[in-house]
Amino acid sequence: MSTANDSPEDTGNHPGNKLYERPTWVGSDRRMARYVARPVLNFIHLEVASGVLLLAATAAALIWANSPWGHTYHEFWGSVFELRVGSWKLEMNLEEFVNDALMALFFFVVGLEIKRERVTGELKDTRTAALPALAALGGMIVPAVIYFSFNAGGPGAGGWGIPMATDIAFAVGVVALLGSRVSPRLKLFLLTLAIVDDIGAIAVIAIFYSDGLDFVWLGVAAAALLLTRYLTRSGVWATAIYAVIGVVAWYAMFRSGVHATIAGVSLGLLAPAKPLLSREQAEDLADELPEDPEPEEIRHMAFLLRERIPVGQRLETLLHPFTSFIIIPIFALANAGIELSGSAFSDAISSPVTHGVVLGLVVGKPVGITLFSFIGTRLGLRLPKGVTWLQFIGMGAAAGIGFTVSIFVTGLAFPDSIVNQDEAKIGILAASFIASLIGMAMLSRKDVPPGVTEFDDEEPAGTPVPAAASGGRQAVPQPDGPPSAPRDIADSERVGPPNMAPKV
């Protein structure tokens, strides 16, 4: 498998390698292109890439917050800025901007992914999605019950939603590190489970972590979303119009008391997930293009052929790198900077909030997922072929890595208690580390059930597999390399080794 560490001599610039004959800078023989640009792009296409950046951002936040300059961490993220137009103004600090505005874009991509999976992916087939959905339900209910059992009636009772979430970037990254030792069908099960888990987390945020509702602004947000629905059904395809409506919906949701990220999810769910043109229509249009077309004809044809790809999928392709490699690391940098002094650890060790978070994620997740899946099998549903219960429990343990959304819910659950926030975040960090070790240890054992061969555990050649993180795109496995490069980068630059050529 090619990685970001492959040397340029091994991955490109060979005579006859047509991927590097395109006259672009990245595809050139320049030293910076060979030793920096192409390795960076190859790294971005790895399943573990977003998890590595997220881990690096978390480490940077912890180092910054616990350094001699630790006071500047909270001062920086608490810096207030103001946007004013006439008598109207919007005021928030940097941390609020990250959590309310940038994360709305992240949840928009999550909404796009949920819509795609519901229309054309694993969630389309009710029977196929039934067991992952049931497992996800158990993975939310049991952790919440465990947490609440430690905090019922106490000041931390509102944090029951914290251990319900799974961080798909970290969980899939852990699974990806094990390579072929993990069944492809188990990876697909984990991804489907995580999508349902995202739906549950969004519902919890919208219903239980919204207060002081302003129904006038809520009505404005609803009107903006209804207008979006009307325009998409009417065939209006102008992106600028939807961008303006999206900003209005976000601001109205922000002022309504419902968390602003719900606007992002709602807009993602409203994006068209089916193409405007069928494959046959696109091929007919391509055949009609004259041999020597005019520029206007080329622009018109390019627009029509682009509509062969659903709007939602194009938006995922465009925004996925931005959310995975910029927004989520910034979120970690802004929220993971907690004090790790002796007194902080002492308080966390004796805190029911920390106990509930750690046990909810480390114990509740695998127990809930496994228990509800076992019930499902007794009702006639089946585990993925070639997967043992031991591996299944290991997958459930990996699902206990609840980082991004768990930290996000922490801020909503304890908006006025920095102490409870820090105790919960210490619990999240500890639980995610423990869960990753347990998951890797259990999944590394390739136990094949009786009567099932290794061949049975492989996916047929050319079978589409989901991308690695929320907002990812469908990719096709290559014979000796990572999934095909995203269409937007691959078609414009054609970078990387031959086995990263896009599949059309």
Taking phi first (over 0 means left), then psi (-120 to 50 degrees means alpha), and beta for anything else, what does residue 496 get?
Answer: left
Token pair recorded at residue 287: 């055949």
Nearest to 328 by CA among 71, 501, 21, 98: 98
pLDDT at 47: 56
In this predicted structure, the answer to whether residue 421 has a pLDDT above a threshold of 70 is yes
CATH of domain 47-210+259-274+310-481: 1.20.1530.10
**Lowest-confidence pick of 12-26, 147-161, 384-398, 473-487:** 473-487
Mean pLDDT of 25-31: 63
Lowest mean pLDDT among 52-56, 301-305, 328-332, 339-343: 301-305
CA neighbours closer than 13 Å in the CB half-sphere of residue 273: 18
The tens digit of pLDDT for each residue in 442-453 reads 888 765 554 444
Rounded Cα gap, residues 308 and 302, in angstroms: 10
| Secondary-structure percent of the chain, ordered helix, strand, coil, rounded to 5 | 65, 5, 30
* Distant-in-sequence contacts of 97-102, Cβ < 8 A, 24+ apart: 98/330, 98/331, 98/334, 98/335, 99/331, 99/334, 99/335, 99/408, 99/411, 100/254, 100/259, 100/260, 100/261, 101/250, 101/260, 102/327, 102/330, 102/331
pLDDT digits (tens, 9 = 90+) for 100-136: 999 999 899 888 888 888 887 777 777 778 899 999 9
| Across 62-76, 207-221, 348-362, 434-448, least confident range | 434-448
- Note the pLDDT of residue 364: 95
Domain limits, CATH 1.20.1530.10, in the chain? 47-210+259-274+310-481
DSSP state of 290: -
Residue 488 has pLDDT above 50, yes or no: no
